[in-house]
Structure 1
Amino acid sequence: MRYQNCVSVLFPLLLCCCYSLVAAQNLPYKAVNLGNWLVTEGWMKPSLFDGIVNKDLLDGTQVQLKSIKLQKFLVAENGGGTGVSANRDSASGWETFTLWRVNDSTFNFRVFSKQFFGLDAAKKLVATSNSTTNPETFQIIRNTSHPSKIRIQASNGLFLQAQSETVVSADYKGSTNWEDSDPSVFNMTTVKTLQGEYQITNGYGPNRAPQVLQDHWNTYITEEDFRFMSQNGLTAVRIPVGWWIAYDPNPPKPFVGGSLAALDNDFTWAQNHGMKVIVDLHAVQGSQNGNDHSGTRDGYIEWGDSYIPDTVTVIDFLAKRYANKLSLGGIELMNEPTLGPNLDSLKKYYQQAYDAVRKYAKTTHVIMSNPLDHGSKELLSFAGGFDRVVIDVHYYNLFGVQFRNMNVQQNIDYIYNQTASDLNGITTSNGPLSFVGEWTAEWNVQGASKEDYQRFAKAQLDVYSRASFGWAYWAYKCQFNHWSLKWMIENGYIKL
């Protein structure tokens, strides 16, 4: 009798809890991206890089070098494959060099055609090598009072000098007083920087990077964040991961192990709080878009057919590991590809990666990110041939000339008209599901009020809630308040 009484009391409670858990996981998802966690994006938390020596000279930094004596820029003639001169009055592509960081002060210089600076037998500077060996390695020595003033020491121990507009050689001896007449002194201008996973791990180096990243993973997202999200109406998280996670705990250098354990925790926390996890392969070998978040070393887009087998291997690893997790909501095969004419390679990869997921998970949703350099309907007919497939599109009222001078109402009207029409075009009744995998309430409007932001956020929620798979805000945390959904919720800008 006592047992029966317990059952009669507890069973409805258990049933209610189970119902709440299932209800929270129904499509469409209300999700948020856990950006800058397992894949670093320095713009979201620049302080992560504060402990790096010469943190402005990380892998992928683009620099231009001007001979102070000649007042001319160095140039890899023809973009590479021949000599280096000092004869340009202004700088563009051929006069811009990309750094590969060897250590705090030592670098390789990659030119426009992807070759590297090096020395020939006559000690002249040339850009003809496709690899980095000793002759292609240089030390940058900065003027402590004026860090943009530098000298470049070659592997032979001598310094580069611009002897004339046609001769740049590594044969200058001795010290300098940094006068403008010294042919070994150059002015270095930074054109672009990268702050991704490669930059932070290689910047700190193998002795410091593991602890820096582990501390970040342990504190940036915790179970308390999942509790906050679930209590405020979110039903899923989209978690960017990098290809190196499949080789944890000993990924290829400079990447460090530990992110896999953090991802394991996510699945537990999500299940504890009635949420789903969308695993998103955000960074692939070779880089699919050249951006910081692609794990690139230097910004070149090199992903293609030769990288497909290794990328499929990562998806296979993730699917095998998490297929039986109750909190798995989907696996995204690649984030934001920008591949130009390589669309056939992308489709070939999507087919093979889909098959890899299906080996372990017959019903898990497989998400295919729409290529950013193609129309949003590009994958519709292709994806229609698969079961439980989702097309991911990203909407930002930020990137594009059309948004530069829009006022508050014009931005809101754009969401209700153009964006809504675009989303409706890929949200079909018998085709793949649609997913707005990234959006934010930030825009180019200056001096907008809280009410303006509230109206803009509401417009996006109204429209993106029509996506059949759901939406995911970018991001949960960010140094910029309107990019942070946590801040937006806590301060009354968004209510779910």
Structure 2
Amino acid sequence: MRFTSLAIVTFLLGLTDALQDHGSQRASARRHHAVAQAQQHEARATLPEARYGLDRSKPIRGVNLGNWLITESWMMPQFYFDAQTSSAALVDEYSWIKAHSNRQDAYDKLRSHYSSYMTEDDFKLMQAYGLNAVRIPVPYWTLEDSAPSSDEIYFFKGGRPQLRQALLWCKKYGIDVVLDLHAAPGSQNAYDNSGSRKGVFWQTKQSYYDRTITALTTMVDFYVNNQTYGGVVKAIITMNEPLVGSNWISLDLLQKFNKAAYRAIRGRVSAAKGAQVMPTVYFSNSIIGTDPWMPWIQQNYADGTFIKGTIGFDLHRYQSFTPYNAYSHDEHINHTCKQSTNLAKVQAVLPVFIGEMSDGVALRCVDYRDCVGRTMQQDINTLNTKTNNYFARRFWEAQRIIYEQSSGGWFFWSWKTVCASAWSYRDSVQQVWLPQNPNERVYVPDSAESAAGQCVSRKPNRGIAFRTTSS
């Protein structure tokens, strides 16, 4: 393609930024298998395994840093609706950037967003709220140095400095990090959280597959093989919510990829280059349940490809989509309590954590234009009747109890939003839908309720002082 001067400048800036990251030489996705095996054995011999999600004495209590390095319109409507973009129905970050007549304006806005949306005060507050982990969605374009291809020119590769800073803050405040490859080349799901809703094309090109492997090994080079971060990265998710189906990605291809990703990640980790822990490799179950995966997991255990305690499942548990969004309050609670059996069954085979969940039972701002100008308090006021306030707290307690008792723990989506209160951990705590101390419970079931399978009581054991209540 014919590059514009802006594209050339952006490319050169990306190369300059890469020099600041430790071990910035990119790994080939097709390294010789024998070399990879040798590197794995060296790393295993000198590094402790993170075994992330297996320490039941320290459940994962985390939040996603959503809408940061990958923006989502429903999480900050006003950002997507301004003088340059107000006439467009934007569906993803790619179309938002493309809608700008001057692409540099969009890049400047994103650079400012990266710097201001997550600050040290956020991580300090997470620690104060008893959180011990963050799941950071990272797009592939943040990890690449090459000039973009013609179909990817509207992605901005400017998030690395802020990601580096976030890891240092996590180290400072004792917060573990899970790095999640949230967007893969070609899009693995055609959701807005992949950056592009044009379609699922990841499976259509070998180069997309190879670049995804390279993005993961680059992630290791920059953020694991770097003693500056003190071993804060405890797990890496190979790909977020890949869409499996006859018209999308086949399960066979995805399993092949995950096996290759596992080998590539572990083969790349090096104590000699600064790594202090071997991160656990987590796979998305692709929202198809865990049963289709179990024969493959067991076979790879049996032949020695996977070592027990070194892999896990990243499961997502939302009750805001069909059919769950039609549930009554009691049905939401019952559905949550009943998850314990299946989760415990999977946890017996490999670690599991709930990588995404929320306190919301309805979607917000599906068309972001409907929420332009809405404040957080205005959104809270649509949900803060006495009945809803008490349900929000009860629903939260049910989820926390089940996900900590039957899995490795949880990551709330998200740490914050602009105006979707039940999806903002920070604002839900301030409204007292969630307790500031995660250990606090006011819905402890009595013996009869426990015997009936209830993980929370029907009524609170004491009063709750919600910040606001509407009639």
**Bin of the TM-score, shorter chain as denominator length:** 0.5 to 0.7
Distance 1:209 1:433, change over 3 A: same
- Matches of 2:221 and 2:294, distance apart in 1: 27
Confirm or deny that 1:332 pairs with 2:237. yes
- Matches of 1:337 and 1:257, distance apart in 2: 22
Q: Which amino acid aligns with 1:331?
A: I
Residue identity (%): 30
**In 2, are the aligned partners of 1:55 and 1:203 still within 8 Å (CA)?**
no
Q: Which amino acid aligns with 2:93?
A: E
2:330 corresponds to which of 392, 406, 409: 409
2:27 aligns with none
Tell me by how many angstroms 1:26 deviates: 7.4
Q: Which amino acid aligns with 1:492?
A: V
**In 2, are the aligned partners of 1:333 and 1:353 still within 8 Å (CA)?**
yes
Structure with the higher fraction of residues in strand conformation: 1
Confirm or deny that 1:198 pairs with 2:198. no
Tell me by how many angstroms 1:200 deviates: 2.4
Tell me by how many angstroms 1:378 deviates: 2.5
Tell me by how many angstroms 1:262 deviates: 1.2
Q: Which has the larger radius of gyration?
A: 1
1:260 corresponds to which of 138, 160, 165: 160
2:379 aligns with none
Tell me by how many angstroms 1:344 deviates: 0.9
Confirm or deny that 1:465 pairs with 2:435. no
Gaps of 5+ in 1: 1-23, 59-192
- Matches of 1:212 and 1:49, distance apart in 2: 11
Report matched runs for 1:75-90 at 5 Å. none
**In 2, are the aligned partners of 1:289 and 1:301 still within 8 Å (CA)?**
yes
1:247 aligns with 144
Q: Which amino acid aligns with 1:367?
A: Y
1:371 corresponds to which of 275, 286, 307: 286
2:130 aligns with 233
Q: Which amino acid aligns with 1:420?
A: S
SS in 2 for 1:39: coil
2:371 aligns with none
Tell me by how many angstroms 1:56 deviates: 4.7
- Matches of 2:337 and 2:232, distance apart in 1: 33
Confirm or deny that 1:321 pairs with 2:352. no
1:48 aligns with 79
Confirm or deny that 1:31 pairs with 2:62. yes
Distance 1:467 1:221, change over 3 A: farther
TM-score of the superposed pair, with normalisation by structure 1: 0.63
- Summarize deviations over 1:8-50 as a string: whole Å, max 9, x none: xxxxxxxxxxxxxxxx997431110000000111110011112
Tell me by how many angstroms 1:274 deviates: 0.5
Confirm or deny that 1:441 pairs with 2:375. no
Q: Which amino acid aligns with 2:390?
A: E
SS in 2 for 1:486: helix
- Summarize deviations over 1:188-230 as a string: whole Å, max 9, x none: xxxxx51x22122222342211110011111111111000001
**In 2, are the aligned partners of 1:426 and 1:434 still within 8 Å (CA)?**
yes
**In 2, are the aligned partners of 1:28 and 1:470 still within 8 Å (CA)?**
yes
Tell me by how many angstroms 1:250 deviates: 5.9
- Matches of 2:140 and 2:286, distance apart in 1: 19
Report matched runs for 1:253-332 at 5 Å. 253-296=153-196, 298-304=197-203, 306=206, 307-324=208-225, 325=229, 326-332=231-237
TM-score of the superposed pair, with normalisation by structure 2: 0.67
2:350 aligns with 432
**In 1, are the aligned partners of 2:344 and 2:407 still within 8 Å (CA)?**
no
Distance 1:383 1:466, change over 3 A: farther
SS in 1 for 2:432: coil
- Summarize deviations over 1:95-144 as a string: whole Å, max 9, x none: xxxxxxxxxxxxxxxxxxxxxxxxxxxxxxxxxxxxxxxxxxxxxxxxxx
1:356 corresponds to which of 264, 287, 291: 264
- Summarize deviations over 1:142-169 as a string: whole Å, max 9, x none: xxxxxxxxxxxxxxxxxxxxxxxxxxxx
RMSD, aligned α-carbons = 2.2
SS in 2 for 1:282: strand
- Matches of 2:56 and 2:405, distance apart in 1: 17
Gaps of 5+ in 2: 1-54, 270-276, 364-382, 439-471
Tell me by how many angstroms 1:444 deviates: 4.1
Higher relative contact order (CA 8 A, sep 6+): 2
Tell me by how many angstroms 1:433 deviates: 0.3
Tell me by how many angstroms 1:399 deviates: 1.2
- Matches of 2:315 and 2:177, distance apart in 1: 18
Distance 1:317 1:450, change over 3 A: same
- Matches of 1:273 and 1:249, distance apart in 2: 34
1:215 corresponds to which of 83, 97, 112: 112
- Summarize deviations over 1:319-361 as a string: whole Å, max 9, x none: 1111133211211110011121411111111111111111233
SS in 1 for 2:154: coil
Distance 1:309 1:471, change over 3 A: same
**In 1, are the aligned partners of 2:182 and 2:193 still within 8 Å (CA)?**
yes
1:158 aligns with none
Q: Which amino acid aligns with 2:221?
A: K
Structure with the higher fraction of residues in helix conformation: 2
- Matches of 2:360 and 2:161, distance apart in 1: 32
**In 1, are the aligned partners of 2:62 and 2:134 still within 8 Å (CA)?**
yes
Tell me by how many angstroms 1:52 deviates: 5.2
SS in 2 for 1:349: helix
Confirm or deny that 1:423 pairs with 2:343. yes
